[in-house]
Every structure is written in structure tokens, then in C-alpha cells.
């Protein structure tokens, strides 16, 4: 790292007068970050990898034993875990697809000038600024079978969204879409406003219709940033815990993160939980990697 070019400190500056060099200032920023990363991220990561090969339980004092790959073997042959993964996959697909469609649609609507645009944009961003647990609790009330506004508005009588095994997962996904579409909207807006206006003018002169312009100009030019939104939302949706945990107890809506939580903090099976966490991590990495590869390909165009 010795070859990193540093901007040289202005010798007349106050920092220089105090006897600080560029290097001192650089270290001032880098060392705390490194310490933080090592203590709170890298160390636990490696430590939990170690635990995942043991039968360690955090609530017991008796010595733990090294069990090799037994945790992994048990987990991967456990049908229950696989059903959790299938539930999670359904959830990710529904929720992320919904967020992309709603978020990008909102961005298309907002990508023009109209009165009170700033205010409306800010209001639309509010859901994603709320605490997920609060959102979960509120939507539980909205979904309430007997007096919830949702059933009232859609005339669904006393349909029990959250305690019906068929609908619980989708009810949670809808809440997630409500909460996180603004995030996709925000990124899409940035992407849309980065498309130069003169390209649309050129397309209009070239007699391209709305749909042709959208599919040939807008989408290709916005797609890199849409992919980034997709990566973020997939990763987040994969590890959704808070919303789902506060909203429903249906086994059909038991996401892998909830399963992991139960295993770690209700059954106190710490070693096995670490192994499960690693399996989840590898899956998320694999999916993200696919996206990033595709993103690089899109960017090259």
C-alpha cells in the first residue's frame, strides 16, 4: 500500500502548524475504522465459524466438544430447514419484485416537474424511515380481521390475513413492499434524472413512440442502478426478520432468519445456529455474486 498517492498537506494549514503530517491525518481516519471492523465484524465472523463446528450452547457452562461437520450435515438434511428456505425464496421473489415494480413506477411518475414535487417525494420516502418493528405492529392493526381498515376498504369481511396459513407470508411481503418501495424509487429517480434530456429529444425527433423510447432508451440507461437496487433489496429481503417476527407466528411465514433466531435464542443451540448462519451467508453471497457479474456486464455496454 506504499504506492498510494497522497494529496500533500498544505504547509500553511493549521494541521501542519500543529505538526501533523498527511500520514497522521490519514491514520486518524483509518485506524478507528479498522479497529471497529476487526472487533465487531471480522472477529465474530471467524469466531462463529469456529463455533459452527462445535456443540457449544451459550446458556450452559459445561465444556463444549468439537463435532466436525455434524451441524452442517444435520441442517442440510433437515426438511424443516429446507421448507424455511422455500418460504424465504417465495418471500424474496414476491417482495423484491413488488418493490421493483412499485418503486420504479413511482419514480417514472415523479420524474417530471409538477407542483409540490419535493413535498410529495419526501412524503413517499417516509415508510422506509420508520422502524421495521413499528411498521410490523401498525400493519398488524391494519390487517386486523374484525376492525382493520384493509378488510373494510376491500370489503373482505373478517378475512384473517395474518393467521391464515395461505396468506400470512404474502401479507408480510405486502408490508415489506410498502416499506421498501420508496428505496427503489429513490435510486430509480437518481437513475432516471441522470438520463440526459437531449436523448429523449433526439428520440422524439427520431419518431420513437413512448414504449419504444422507454424500452430502448430509458430502461437500458437506468438498468445499472436498478440492478444495484435489486441487489440491496434481495440481500435485505433474504434476511428479513423484524417485520415478519412482529406480524405473524404462522409456520408458513417462518423465514430463515426467524428460524435462525429461534434456534439460537430459544433452543440455545448456538453451535448449530452458527452453522445455519454460515449456510445463509453463503447463499446470499452466491446470489449477490450472480447479480454483480450481471451488473458488470450491463455496465460494459
Q: Which of 220, 268, 282, 289 binds another protein (CB under 8 A)?
A: 220
Place of cell 435464542: 265
Is residue 216 within the footprint of another protein (CB under 8 A)?
A: yes
Q: Which of 75, 94, 203, 280 binds another protein (CB under 8 A)?
A: 203
Is residue 18 within the footprint of another protein (CB under 8 A)?
A: no
Task: With beta carbons less than 8 A apart as the criterion, state whether 135 and 175 touch.
Answer: yes
Is residue 60 within the footprint of another protein (CB under 8 A)?
A: no
Is residue 204 within the footprint of another protein (CB under 8 A)?
A: yes
Return the range that interacts with another protein (CB under 8 A); candidates 59-67, 137-145, 176-184, 197-205. 197-205
Is residue 196 within the footprint of another protein (CB under 8 A)?
A: yes
C-alpha to C-alpha distance for 268 and 38, rounded to whole angstroms: 26
Q: Which of 202, 282, 285, 292 binds another protein (CB under 8 A)?
A: 202
C-alpha to C-alpha distance for 270 and 40, rounded to whole angstroms: 18
Instruction: Using alpha carbons, select from 100, 107, 139 the residue that is nearest to residue 121.
Output: 107
Return the range that interacts with another protein (CB under 8 A); candidates 6-14, 72-80, 191-199, 266-274. 191-199
Return the range that interacts with another protein (CB under 8 A); candidates 3-11, 36-44, 98-106, 193-201. 193-201
The residues facing 54 across adjacent strands are 66
Q: Find the distance separating the first CA and the last CA of the chain, reported in whole Å.
A: 32
Give, as ranges, the residues between 112 and 131 that touch another protein (CB under 8 A).
none
C-alpha to C-alpha distance for 222 and 231, rounded to whole angstroms: 15
Is residue 206 within the footprint of another protein (CB under 8 A)?
A: yes
Q: Which of 59, 61, 198, 286 binds another protein (CB under 8 A)?
A: 198
Task: With beta carbons less than 8 A apart as the criterion, state whether 91 and 98 touch.
Answer: no
Q: Which of 38, 101, 199, 290 binds another protein (CB under 8 A)?
A: 199
Q: What are phi and psi of 54, to 5 degrees?
A: -125, 175
Is residue 205 within the footprint of another protein (CB under 8 A)?
A: yes
Instruction: Using alpha carbons, select from 269, 271, 273 the residue that is nearest to residue 257.
Output: 273
C-alpha to C-alpha distance for 50 and 149, rounded to whole angstroms: 49
Return the range that interacts with another protein (CB under 8 A); candidates 1-9, 19-27, 116-124, 194-202. 194-202
Is residue 149 within the footprint of another protein (CB under 8 A)?
A: no
Q: Is the dihedral of CA 230, 131, 259, 91 positive or negative?
A: negative
**Residues at the contact surface with another protein, assessed by CB under 8 A:** 196, 198-199, 201-209, 212, 216-217, 220-221, 301
Amino acid at each position: 500500500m506504499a504506492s498510494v498517492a497522497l494529496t500533500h498537506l498544505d504547509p500553511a494549514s493549521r494541521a501542519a502548524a500543529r505538526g501533523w503530517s498527511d500520514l497522521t491525518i490519514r491514520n486518524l481516519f483509518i485506524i478507528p475504522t479498522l479497529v471497529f471492523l476487526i472487533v465487531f465484524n471480522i472477529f465474530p465472523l471467524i469466531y462463529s465459524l469456529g463455533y459452527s463446528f462445535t456443540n457449544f450452547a451459550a446458556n450452559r457452562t459445561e465444556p463444549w466438544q468439537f463435532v466436525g461437520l455434524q451441524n452442517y450435515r444435520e441442517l442440510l438434511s433437515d426438511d424443516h430447514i429446507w421448507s424455511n428456505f422455500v418460504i424465504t425464496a417465495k418471500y424474496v421473489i414476491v417482495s423484491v419484485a413488488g418493490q421493483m415494480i412499485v418503486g420504479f413506477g413511482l419514480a417514472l411518475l415523479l420524474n417530471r416537474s409538477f407542483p409540490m414535487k419535493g413535498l410529495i417525494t419526501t412524503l413517499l420516502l417516509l415508510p422506509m424511515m420508520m422502524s421495521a418493528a413499528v411498521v410490523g405492529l401498525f400493519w398488524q392493526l391494519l390487517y386486523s380481521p374484525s376492525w382493520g381498515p384493509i378488510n373494510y376498504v376491500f370489503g373482505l369481511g373478517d378475512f384473517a390475513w395474518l393467521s391464515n396459513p395461505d396468506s400470512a407470508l404474502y401479507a408480510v411481503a405486502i408490508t415489506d413492499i410498502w416499506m421498501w418501495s420508496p428505496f427503489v424509487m429513490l435510486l430509480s429517480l437518481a437513475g432516471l434524472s441522470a438520463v440526459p434530456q437531449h436523448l429523449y429529444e433526439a428520440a422524439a425527433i427520431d419518431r420513437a413512440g413512448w414504449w419504444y423510447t422507454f424500452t430502448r432508451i430509458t430502461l437500458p440507461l437506468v438498468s445499472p442502478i436498478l440492478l444495484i437496487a435489486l441487489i440491496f433489496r434481495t440481500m435485505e429481503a433474504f434476511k428479513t426478520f423484524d417485520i415478519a417476527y412482529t406480524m405473524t407466528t404462522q409456520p408458513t411465514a417462518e423465514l430463515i432468519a426467524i428460524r435462525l433466531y429461534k434456534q439460537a435464542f430459544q433452543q440455545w443451540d448456538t453451535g448449530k445456529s452458527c452453522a445455519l448462519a454460515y449456510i445463509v451467508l453463503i447463499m446470499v453471497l452466491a446470489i449477490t455474486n450472480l447479480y454483480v457479474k450481471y451488473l458488470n456486464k450491463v455496465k460494459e455496454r
